[in-house]
A and B are shown apart, each in its own frame.
Chain A
Amino acid sequence: DAGITQSPRHKVTETGTPVTLRCHQTENHRYMYWYRQDPGHGLRLIHYSYGVKDTDKGEVSDGYSVSRSKTEDFLLTLESATSSQTSVYFCAISEGGLGGKGSPLHFGNGTRLTVT
């Protein structure tokens, strides 16, 4: 399995508080992604990174920010958590561009976030 560690694995927080989720990889892959997974919506891309300090928005980026100061770490921040952000968050990595052309995505085991 690809070396991807997400932390924390579970978190409960209150509405309005800031939350940061961390993804750490040991594969030295260039691309990193944050997805959220909700019943009835499948997996939706929040943000992705194509290099250190290089990031772009996905389809559901509102309310989220990301940072990547090192190749191995990709942080997802909820500046002011809301109940609609209760979800399971997955980090993924790929060696090449956007998971295609021989560069499939490899996922972590997720962070379950509950906003009360």
Chain B
Amino acid sequence: LAKTTQPISMDSYEGQEVNITCSHNNIATNDYITWYQQFPSQGPRFIIQGYKTKVTNEVASLFIPADRKSSTLSLPRVSLSDTAVYYCLVVSGKLIFGQGTTLQVKP
């Protein structure tokens, strides 16, 4: 069963690029990697999903190296509204979320 490990917290400033890395050493061949964002008093919201190499959408990029044992969520030019908890999820077995990374964006 894949288990994910993320930093507990990160700080950044407005306009900077933020990279959050998640390690998932036991990822299975068919597992996808998905990232979610959660604001207080709301449910998590899907950001991006990938299987290998790089995926980009209108809000983020996801980088996955060839061995797929880690992945990096990249948020370009963050703003105060990006302050949230970010979860990495590897779909393996019973959809177990990790602890998440609390990102604090400062002015």
Q: State which of B17-25, B38-46, B67-75 sits at the interface with chain A.
A: B38-46
- Decide if A98 is an interface residue (CB 8 Å cutoff): yes
| Cα(A100)–Cα(B95), bound, Å | 9
Cβ A90 vs Cβ B43 within 8 A: yes
Kindly identify, within residues 47 to 71 of chain A, every residue whose CB is under 8 Å from any CB belonging to chain B.
48, 58-59
Give Cα A77 to B44, complex, Å. 22
Q: Is the CB of B43 within 8 A of A92?
A: yes
B89 touches A110 (CB 8 A): no
Instruction: Kindly identify which residue among A99, A104, A107 contacts B43, using a CB–CB cutoff of 8 Å.
Output: A107
Number of A-B contacts (CB under 8 A): 62
Contact status A58-B100, CB under 8 Å: no
Residue from B30, B36, B43, B46 having most chain A Cβ neighbours under 10 A: B43
Tell whether, in the assembled complex, residue A100 and residue B46 are in contact, meaning their CB atoms are under 8 Å apart: no
Q: How far is the CB of B47 from chain A (nearest CB, A)?
A: 9
Chain B residue at minimum C-beta to C-beta distance from A31: B95
Q: Which residues of B contact A92 (CB under 8 A)?
A: 43
A42 and B44 contact, CB distance less than 8 A: no
Q: Is A104's CB under 8 angstroms from B96's CB?
A: no
Residues 16-64 (chain B) with a chain A CB within 8 angstroms: 30-32, 34, 36, 41-46, 49
- Judged by a CB distance under 8 angstroms, whether A33 is at the interface is yes
CA distance A48 to B95 in the complex (A): 10
Query: Could you show 9 A-B contacts with beta carbons less than 8 Å apart?
Result: A42-B98, A42-B100, A43-B87, A48-B95, A101-B32, A105-B34, A105-B46, A108-B43, A110-B42
Q: What is B's interface to A at a CB cutoff of 8 Å?
A: 30-32, 34, 36, 41-46, 49, 87, 89, 91, 94-100
